[in-house]
Structure 1
Amino acid sequence: MNFLPDTASLALSISLQGLALSLGLIVAIGAQNAFVLRQGLRRQHVGSVVLFCAAADASLIAAGVMGMAQALGDRPGLARALALAGSVFLALYGWQALQRARQSHQLKASDGGDGLGRGAVLAQAAAFTLLNPHVYLDTVLLVGSIGAQQPAALRGWFVAGASAASLFWFGLLGFGARWLAPWFARPTAWRVLDGVIAMTMFVLSALLVRHVFNGM
């Protein structure tokens, strides 16, 4: 696909926004991450688990972006309201990350599940992914509403960037588990990571506010 230089730069910028937003939301201590880490440590069906979790995120993100774009349609006022609400959410998320950076956290692989077949493992992955209400708030509502603010021709690039973040993170957890496990067990590492997440969320929040007021 050929792009003019300005269009290519814009597509790259939008992809990176999607990547940064998705990474900031997905990199957190939780049951799904612990499950992927556990499978990586045990080297059991790692590829299947990583692909399932990444594909589930990509599907929800795409559905959110396209669905929100259709729902917003000719409702610029609603679009601005959702963008401002998203900006507030990102700022609050960044504040929470700063608070986490002041506390001690660590991510450890959970016990149980030895010797399960691929089907049983994927059923567990589906439960950790799809039965978590936060995944819908993050991917469908938040990422979807922000992605819907992008130019129609470039929304696919936003979805691609956000989806790439999921594939990168789950791949890192699953295939790099034996190297990452000792690092994730250190509270200091999580403090640094939460600090980076906080700054990322603050920057994205500011960019979203600027987008709203530039479009008025």
Structure 2
Amino acid sequence: MLEAIIHGIILAFGLIVPLGVQNVFVFNQGALQPTFSRALPVVVTAAVCDTILILAAVSGVSLLVLTFGWLENIIFGFGILFLLFIGFSLWRSESASPDTEAERFTAKRQIIFAASVSLLNPHALLDTIGVIGTNSLNYVNEARWAFTGTTIVVSWLWFIGLAAAGRSLGKLDSSGKLMQGLNKISALVVWGVAVYMAIQLFGNVK
């Protein structure tokens, strides 16, 4: 069981640490919200979505995405459109005031955006299915649950730490210019992922 736990820790960090849309959005909101508690909606939503994806992958339910190619293309299509929208929303945030920006990203909007970048992100889906789902097959009974539980715990701790790091950075930005720049960088990252996904979708359709 110890082997399963260590494996889960390494695998989970390997999947969630790289810069991606979900991480960018969680860090961004942690930095822009006036208090850490105001960023909890995005933290909890991202972590819950990851938990759902992990459980689905381990149980084999999410293998439907790999079984039906057309379903993967539909997910890619929706994901691209939503990422373009998110990038536009971040880029046009001209206000340099963290408090003003926090008012725009209400708890409801945080939840909607976080759920969308988590569940409409084909890379997140395929990574979870192909990596965590496949690796879970190496274990049975208690060991499999230990592996699954470990990846879920790491995911929750990561998003909490990411938002906390963002909040620390936000406290250092009294002028708000750093946060404005962060929005621009976040938008470029989101658009970059959307373009990459569009290229992959074109390859699938072709």
Coarse TM-score class (shorter-chain normalised): 0.5 to 0.7
One-letter amino acid of the structure 1 residue matched with residue 33 of structure 2: L
DSSP-derived class of the 1:150 partner = helix
Shift of 1:35: 9.5
Cα distance in 1 for partners of 2:135, 2:177 equals: 36
Cα distance in 2 for partners of 1:159, 1:21 equals: 19
DSSP-derived class of the 2:55 partner = helix
Query: Contact between 1:37 and 1:173, CA under 8 Å: does it hold in 2?
Result: no
Cα distance in 2 for partners of 1:138, 1:165 equals: 16
Q: 1:64–1:149: structure 2 CA closer, same or farther, 3 Å change rule?
A: closer
One-letter amino acid of the structure 2 residue matched with residue 38 of structure 1: P
Task: Kindly provide the CA deviation profile for residues 37-76 of structure 1, in whole angstroms up to 9, marking residues without a partner as x.
Answer: 211xxxxxx4x66678535532331113323663334674
Q: 1:13–1:209: structure 2 CA closer, same or farther, 3 Å change rule?
A: farther
Shift of 1:158: 7.7
Residue segments in structure 1 that go unaligned for 5+ positions in a row: 4-8, 40-45, 112-126
Residue segments in structure 2 that go unaligned for 5+ positions in a row: 5-9, 137-147
Query: Contact between 1:50 and 1:167, CA under 8 Å: does it hold in 2?
Result: no
Shift of 1:207: 8.6
One-letter amino acid of the structure 1 residue matched with residue 107 of structure 2: F
Question: Percent of pairs identical after alignment?
Answer: 7
DSSP-derived class of the 1:71 partner = coil
Q: 1:139–1:173: structure 2 CA closer, same or farther, 3 Å change rule?
A: same
Q: 1:25–1:207: structure 2 CA closer, same or farther, 3 Å change rule?
A: farther
Q: Which residue of 1 aligns with 2:183?
A: 190
Q: Which residue of 2 aligns with 1:172?
A: 165
Shift of 1:170: 1.0
Q: Which residue of 1 aligns with 2:130?
A: 150
**Where do 1:91-130 residues align within 5 Å?**
91-96=80-85, 99-100=88-89, 103-106=92-95, 108-109=98-99, 128=107
Name the Cα RMSD after superposition: 4.9
One-letter amino acid of the structure 2 residue matched with residue 167 of structure 1: I
Q: Which residue of 1 aligns with 2:193?
A: 200
Cα distance in 2 for partners of 1:130, 1:189 equals: 19
One-letter amino acid of the structure 2 residue matched with residue 20 of structure 1: G
Count, aligned residues: 181
**Where do 1:66-81 residues align within 5 Å?**
66-67=55-56, 70-73=60-63, 76-78=66-68, 80-81=69-70
Q: 1:64–1:23: structure 2 CA closer, same or farther, 3 Å change rule?
A: same
Query: Contact between 2:90 and 2:184, CA under 8 Å: does it hold in 1?
Result: yes
